[in-house]
Amino acid sequence: MYVRNSISKEKQKLSIEMQKDHVNKLAQKENLLIDDIYSDDETSARKTKVKERTQMSRMLREIRKGEIKTVLVYSRCRFARNVHDYMEIYRTFKEHSIKVFFATEHEFPMLFTIEGELIERIMAAFNEHEAENLVKKLKDAKLTKARQGKHAAGKISFGYEQSAEEDGDWTIIKEEAQVVQDIFNLFTVTRLDSLNQFVEMVNQQGLTYKDDKPWTYGNIRNLLKNPIYKGIRKYQDIKVPVLHLQIVEEQVWKEAQVKLSTFTRDSFKEEEKEKPFFLLDGMIQCMECEEVLISNKAQMRGKKIEVYRCKNHSKIKFEKEKIEKEVMLQANNFFNEILSPFFKEHLKKMAEKDTKIFKDIGKMIENVRSNLKDEIGNRLDVLLNIDKVSDVSPSMMKLYEELQEVTKSHETFKEKWFESIETLKELEAYHDRYDDGSTVILHEDLNGETARDLLQNVVKGIYVHSDKEVSIIFKHPYLEGVGGREIIGLK
């Protein structure tokens, strides 16, 4: 048996156990005896070469000695995550006629023919292509939203909240909108020596930020520069008028820009150069005080480093680089899970279940209608002489009410069912011939904003339980109600 995981966190240890459990069940089914377990713990198949993976190397050596004839594994992705390494392992199996059993149902048999080798190479190479497709799909979805004047990415600006009526749109918060107007008016009419002076003035006048917090230099600068307040939603190079979100007059906004430009003393440029990009800014919440962790530099282990910390609990403090790396790793794992053939099969089962429920509801409606028709037929003479609703029999009224309720449920579920089917069709292109667990979507070379956009597609929230334990709640980028939870340990 060969098993492998990438990191040592609790969830990943369970992943090793999960692999063993599936492989053991396969062994029982095939009447096979497992002589040895080759387990590469905390080993990345993407970053670590085959010869550097202790247990894989041991297994291959014993295969070459003729000591192994059969290998059981959870899925192909456990062997390797790139074409070169995978084909090296495949050719060793082929040379020694190794019988390979896969525990996952979606894997097809490994064939040692010319056609089989071609298929294996295609499968190994197809993963990277699938990752690129997913990234493109997510980017295209954001661009589509932006062109429609909807919120494509990032936080909701001060003064607004998510619309309850239309997904991706906002509504104005009256009280916060008044603060925005006051800030713009004060900025345009007041003689100032610096933007820091204006920030102090705003706070002194009792104009507060969200949750009655004081305004900061960055908050004020971003607010004054944001075109959403003059009724223009901007995403990358896309600008769309959204006049229902306008809070300040365009002329006032323009005057603010002219004045703001006079404070670009090197200060803004220097700030842009020196200020680090915090990937998880605004995404991490302390469970004890329910406050969002702030991101800045702090003293830790005798030196000043970039951290996420809770302002109310001094022990809640995480190194920026470490927690961002862990969250990206877990997000990649979640991307792999929702793109895996196993998940595709799960979606099919969900659609089949929805279809069955839809049919059952349809039958219920027909039964109610039939009962109503029989009741009407039996009481036709009485019904013809009814002058007011109160004269209708209780059984008849109950049938009417039941019919109304079930019909409403039928229409609601019909929309859900069609949405499920359409989503399944949309996702099939990304799941076809996909090899589970080998896609790296979030990586260090990504632009910071792009990485954050991708994260926000799958991360619903990050919650701190203690100074050593953080949980990540995942969501499916396309399907409501589909997600997961990871617990990571940070020391």
Helix, strand, coil tally for the chain in percent (to 5)? 55, 15, 30
Residue 257: count other Cβ atoms within 10 Å of its Cβ: 12
Structure tokens at 401: 């009410």
How far apart, in whole angstroms, are the C-alpha atoms of residue 361 and residue 429? 31
Q: What is the mean pLDDT of the chain?
A: 78
Predicted local confidence at residue 435, as pLDDT: 44
Can you tell me whether residue 101 is helix, strand or coil?
Answer: strand
Strands 469-475 and 459-464: antiparallel
Can you tell me whether residue 233 is helix, strand or coil?
Answer: strand
Binning pLDDT at 50, 70 and 90, where does residue 127 land?
A: very low
Quickly list DSSP for 145-211.
Answer: HHHTTS--SSPPPTTEEE-SSSTT-EEE-HHHHHHHHHHHHHHHHS--S-HHHHHHHHHHTT---GG
Q: Which of 51, 77, 112 is the last residue of a domain?
A: 112
Predicted local confidence at residue 251, as pLDDT: 95
Phi and psi (nearest 5°) for 380?
A: -55, -45
Residue that has been written with the tokens 């877990």 in this structure: 330
Give residue 196's identity as a one-letter amino acid code: N
User: Do residues 105 and 166 both lie within one domain?
Assistant: no
Say yes or no to pLDDT of 297 above 70: yes
Say yes or no to pLDDT of 96 above 90: yes
User: Do residues 7 and 88 both lie within one domain?
Assistant: yes
Binning pLDDT at 50, 70 and 90, where does residue 100 land?
A: very high
User: Do residues 81 and 176 both lie within one domain?
Assistant: no
Assigned domain for 69 exists: yes
Question: Quick one: how far is CA 387 from the chain centroid?
Answer: 59
Predicted local confidence at residue 266, as pLDDT: 44
Lowest mean pLDDT among 4-8, 72-76, 160-164: 4-8
Binning pLDDT at 50, 70 and 90, where does residue 355 land?
A: low
Assigned domain for 436 exists: no
User: Do residues 373 and 263 both lie within one domain?
Assistant: no
User: Do residues 86 and 165 both lie within one domain?
Assistant: no
Q: How many domains in the chain? A: 3
Assigned domain for 415 exists: yes
Q: Which of 431, 460, 477 is the last residue of a domain?
A: 431
User: Considering only CA atoms, which of 43, 29, 115 is closest in space to residue 72?
Assistant: 29
Say yes or no to pLDDT of 181 above 80: yes
Lowest mean pLDDT among 37-41, 266-270, 336-340, 436-440: 266-270
Say yes or no to pLDDT of 466 above 60: yes
Strands 284-286 and 459-464: parallel
User: Do residues 99 and 188 both lie within one domain?
Assistant: no
Structure tokens at 26: 């396969």
Q: Measuring CA to CA, how many Å separate 441 from each of 329, 446, 455?
A: 10, 9, 10
Predicted local confidence at residue 300, as pLDDT: 67
Say yes or no to pLDDT of 412 above 70: no
- Highest-confidence range of 37-46, 50-59, 161-170, 198-207, by mean pLDDT? 198-207
For range 171-199, the mean pLDDT = 93
pTM, rounded to two decimals: 0.43
Predicted local confidence at residue 185, as pLDDT: 95
51 vs 320 pLDDT, higher one? 320
For range 318-336, the mean pLDDT = 87
Binning pLDDT at 50, 70 and 90, where does residue 123 land?
A: low
For range 420-437, the mean pLDDT = 54
- How long a stretch of residues is the chain? 491
First to last CA, the chain: 32
Residue 123: count other Cβ atoms within 10 Å of its Cβ: 19
How far apart, in whole angstroms, are the C-alpha atoms of residue 476 and residue 148? 22
Assigned domain for 322 exists: no
DSSP annotation of 81 reads S
367 vs 409 pLDDT, higher one? 367
User: Do residues 107 and 161 both lie within one domain?
Assistant: no
Assigned domain for 136 exists: no
For range 463-479, the mean pLDDT = 83
Binning pLDDT at 50, 70 and 90, where does residue 433 land?
A: very low
Give residue 244's identity as a one-letter amino acid code: H
For range 179-201, the mean pLDDT = 93
CB 252 within 8 A of CB 184: yes
7 vs 220 pLDDT, higher one? 220
Binning pLDDT at 50, 70 and 90, where does residue 276 land?
A: confident
How far apart, in whole angstroms, are the C-alpha atoms of residue 11 and residue 337? 14
Domain containing 31 equals 2-112
Assigned domain for 472 exists: no
How far apart, in whole angstroms, are the C-alpha atoms of residue 147 and residue 167? 14
Predicted local confidence at residue 333, as pLDDT: 82
CATH (domain of 22):
3.40.50.1390
Say yes or no to pLDDT of 465 above 60: yes
Predicted local confidence at residue 242, as pLDDT: 93
Q: Which of 234, 258, 275 is the last residue of a domain?
A: 275
Assigned domain for 184 exists: yes
Partnered with residue 489 across adjacent β-strands are 469
Say yes or no to pLDDT of 403 above 80: no
Structure tokens at 477: 């980028």
Say yes or no to pLDDT of 427 above 60: no
Say yes or no to pLDDT of 374 above 60: yes
CATH (domain of 211):
3.90.1750.20
Assigned domain for 471 exists: no
User: Do residues 102 and 165 both lie within one domain?
Assistant: no
Say yes or no to pLDDT of 443 above 80: no
- Highest-confidence range of 135-149, 263-277, 373-387, by mean pLDDT? 135-149
Q: Which residues contact 232 (CB under 8 A, 6 or more apart)?
A: 239, 240, 241, 242
How far apart, in whole angstroms, are the C-alpha atoms of residue 406 and residue 403? 5
Q: Which residues contact 478 (CB under 8 A, 6 or more apart)?
A: 423, 426, 427
User: Do residues 24 and 102 both lie within one domain?
Assistant: yes
Structure tokens at 345: 């099969």
Structure tokens at 450: 């792009």
Q: Sheet harboring 469-475: ordered strands across?
A: 284-286, 459-464, 469-475, 483-489
